Structure 1
Amino acid sequence: MRDDPAVVDLVRRARAGDAAAWDGIVERYAALVWSVCRRYGLTGSDADDVGGSVWLRLVEHLDTLREPAALPGWLASTTQRECLHLLRARKRQVPVDDAQLGAEPYGAEEPAGPDSALLVRERRHALRVAFGELPVRCRRLLGMLFADPPASYAEIGDALGIPVGAIGPNRGRCLDRLRRSPALAALELTRPGGP
């Protein structure tokens, strides 16, 4: 399995920016990521969060993956680390009643009911699609900026080969491009009160 030429080809093409290869990697290994999440007892939004983090890590590290055929093992171990990170963070959280804070609960403007979970999943899916449409450089930049913990500007500059002063403007352009994605625009049209 470690010498699977199909995996090596997908990694090589994804490194070159082939969006179809990225889709192929996600399609081929999404079940692996979700199965590791289930082993750690994560489902729903927690598994989605871990999955998103794993795919962002892959965007960040695909170019430095020494053995392309080892991708499944890399994905499994990265998923395990992300699951453990989420579980440790959850232990450190102290639940607080929103009424104690004197604020509306997060997402209070969203309709409650059986459709709310579906809306959340649709939004997450649209964001993943839009993120996947970005150029590799934007995906790497945003991935590093929104990592937990985020990389410093110096680390980002070194990793991407751009001056620290150019990171903010590049981030702005990448986020603008993300906002203009047809996947996100289609989602906005389906929202109540949308354009």
Structure 2
Amino acid sequence: MLTKDFDQTTVVDAASGDQGAWSRLVDHYARLVWAVTRSFRLTDSDAADVSQVVWLRLLEHIDRVDPGRVGAWLVVTTRRECLRVLAFRKRVLLTYEATAFEEVAGDQPELDADLLAGERADDVRRALESLPDRWQQLLGMLMADPPAPYAEISATIGIPIGSIGPIRGRCLEKLRLLLAS
């Protein structure tokens, strides 16, 4: 077990280019880095890649790492690299068939997406029309681009400024209920 002073000395020596200090540093913390990668249940090859990237990052940033906190720095950096690998894996589609990519829709919307969006817009329009006129006017002014200032809404509709937010909340709740039914 290394003492904290030895850790700090080893990191400082490794930062100055001492190959022996670098080897001691890697030997001491390699199991920690590996344990963090395994806690993410990465494959052996992904865990090895993460480990290599972490040591490369330490080499790149060793002059900026607090020598007394190198273990914590390695844990945080390893976790971030593991998360990066997992996020990348979600974007990759592995297949053995050459025709598999022809079946993937990609970024194309489904054929009925426009039809569904139109129906949803009609539903919202009907729900809005069932609201009282003042509520329709209020929501119209709030949804304008850019939204009307509360002072203008108050003057136009005749609602006190302090009541605009609560009335808007009641309007939106009523719309939610109408759209849910």
TM-score between both structures, scaled by the size of structure 2: 0.51
Aligned equivalent of 2:151: none
Amino acid at match of 2:9: D
Structure 1 residue 99: Cα displacement: 4.5
The count of corresponding residues between Structure 1 and Structure 2 is 99
Amino acid at match of 1:48: A
2: CA distance between counterparts of 1:59 and 1:30?
14
1: CA distance between counterparts of 2:82 and 2:91?
15
1:91-110 to 2 correspondences below 5 Å:
91-97=90-96, 99-100=98-99
Aligned equivalent of 2:79: 80
> Do 1:37 and 1:43's aligned partners in 2 also have CA atoms closer than 8 Å?
no
> Do 1:37 and 1:80's aligned partners in 2 also have CA atoms closer than 8 Å?
yes
Structure 1 alignment gaps of length 5 or more: 102-195
Structure 1 residue 43: Cα displacement: 3.6
Aligned equivalent of 1:32: 32
What root-mean-square deviation, in Å, do the aligned CA atoms of Structure 1 and Structure 2 show?
1.9
4+ residue runs over 4 A deviation: 98-101
**Which structure's CA Rg is the greater one?**
2
**Percentage identity across aligned positions?**
44
Whose relative contact order is higher, 1 or 2, with alpha carbons under 8 Å and at least 6 apart?
A: 1
Amino acid at match of 1:90: R
2: CA distance between counterparts of 1:12 and 1:31?
21
Structure 2 alignment gaps of length 5 or more: 101-181
2: CA distance between counterparts of 1:97 and 1:86?
21
Aligned equivalent of 2:174: none
Aligned equivalent of 1:4: 4
